[in-house]
Chain A
Amino acid sequence: MTIYWQLIWAYIKIGIFGFGGGYAMLSLVEKAVVSPGWISETMFTDIVAISQMTPGPIGINSATYIGFVAPGSVNPALSGIGWALLGSCLATLAVVVPSFILVLYSSHFIRRHSESGVIKAIFSGLRPVVVGLIASAAIMLMNTANFNPNGISWQLWVNIAICAIAFVLVYFPIKLKEKTIQLHPILIIVMAGIAGFLIYGL
């Protein structure tokens, strides 16, 4: 049973010390789950690859997956699917609950003081910073892993085109007669996926 406590503790730590989201969290996760021998280094790489190919935050993906495999790999007596599901649920909750409580308390505190001049002033200073944070996320994702994973130059141009078209479609409304339509971001993701299949998958 100790494995469950270890899982919970490991993911609580990841949830509390994991600043900056996603990939900043990965090295923390790696240290926490590979060194105690819950999963192998190769399996960790596999989980990262799967996280990139499934929706959702990488922190959740890894908690769910590692919580599932760790009990059986540490103790053969815990190899049934029930034990695996228990590990999944506990690890996922452990990574989420600490920050959930923190966010809830902070936003309650801020709402209670939303009329105070200090809070208003602080948020006036924070808003331009948040714009910069979103911009930095966009800049950092303009990398070879997203635009040219295979190192082939025509693919780079195709991917730049996909990005440009996606931007135009999501940002500018389309005028059809009297109606103006603005495409939903989800629709754009679906269209980009179909384009990817037609270009790279056939």
Chain B
Amino acid sequence: MSELNNQNPSRDSYWSLFSTFFKIGAFTFGGGWAMISIIEREIVDKHHWIERDDFLDLLAIAQSLPGILAVNIATAVGDKIKGGKGSVAAAVGTILPSFLIILFIAIFLTPDIIKNNRVISSVFMGIRPAVVALIIAPVITSAKAAKLQWKTVWIPLVVALMISIDQGFISNPILYIVLGALGGFIFWWLPRRKNIEKK
């Protein structure tokens, strides 16, 4: 984790954090993973609020904890940029678009109107495959940010394979987060500590 913390210029107000995540929430189709591309572009590339490898660490935190992934990501990113109040701004921004749209549907429409609407369903037939592309792209950018070496490059391959075969316990993402943390402790921390003791 680098030392960006809370030293952003004041123009990066809570309002711009909120409105950025409102935009992200309004265009997140297909759950938390689909928002990664948009967050990377907005938060890392455009606003330079956080570094790409820090973003990867925040994703690890968001995924290790229960709850709605998109909200967890927003909370962790908001907190990293502007602290506790920032996390409220980011989380509310992410939630509000879907909250308002569902309320609108619940008040003014019936589920059938949406479900059987030819225009909406055709639009979504186009959006769904594009959303998959928006998740493939961050696989590559995050692999670069993780600085994979020949010693570690097999890890994402095995994790992706085991999770996508969808076989109960051995396909549970939490298992690999625990193993990753444990592996980090054993292979990065213990050797370093030995070196320190030798000195």
Contact = CB atoms under 8 A, between A and B. Distances in A.
Interface of A: 15-23, 25, 43, 46-47, 49-50, 52-61, 64-65, 68-69, 81, 84-85, 88, 92, 95-96, 98-100, 102-104, 106-108, 110-111, 114, 117-142, 145-147, 149, 155, 159-160, 162-164, 166-167, 170-171, 182, 184-186, 188-189, 191-197, 199-201
Contacts of B160: 132-133, 135-136, 139
A50 B105 contact: yes
Contacts of B185: 118, 121-122, 125
Contacts of B163: 132-133, 136, 140
Contacts of B105: 50, 54, 65
B135 A137 contact: yes
B70 interface: yes
B57 to A, nearest CB: 5
B122 interface: yes
Interface of B: 1, 3, 5, 23, 25-33, 36-38, 41, 45, 53, 56-72, 75-76, 79-80, 84, 87, 91, 94-95, 97-99, 101-103, 105-107, 111-112, 114-115, 118-140, 142-143, 145-148, 152-153, 155-160, 163-164, 166, 172-174, 176-177, 179-185, 187-189, 192-193
Given A50-B105, A200-B125, 9 more contacts: A20-B172, A64-B98, A85-B103, A104-B75, A106-B65, A127-B145, A138-B132, A162-B126, A189-B131
A159 B131 CA distance: 11
Contact of A125 (B29, B102, B182): B182
A196 B125 contact: yes
B129 A53 contact: no
Contacts of A163: 129-130, 132-133
8 pairs of A and B residues whose beta carbons are closest in the complex: A196-B126, A125-B184, A56-B98, A99-B67, A132-B159, A201-B122, A192-B130, A129-B180
Given A107-B76, A126-B180, A61 B159 contact: no
Contacts, number: 386
Contacts of B112: 46
Give chain B's interface secondary structure class.
Answer: helix
Contacts of B159: 128-129, 131-133, 135-136
A192 B122 CA distance: 10
Given A50-B105, A146-B132, A166-B133, A100 B126 contact: no
Contacts of B3: 114
**Interface of A, helix, strand, loop or mixed by DSSP:** helix
Given A52-B124, A60-B98, A189-B27, A100 B87 contact: yes
B134 A166 contact: yes
B35 to A, nearest CB: 9
A122 B28 contact: no
A160 B157 contact: no
A95 B68 CA distance: 8
A55 B101 contact: yes
Contacts of B180: 125-126, 128-130
B124 to A, nearest CB: 5
A142 B106 contact: no
B146 to A, nearest CB: 4
Residue among A54, A57, A117, A197 facing the most chain B CB atoms (10 A cut-off): A57
B32 A21 contact: yes
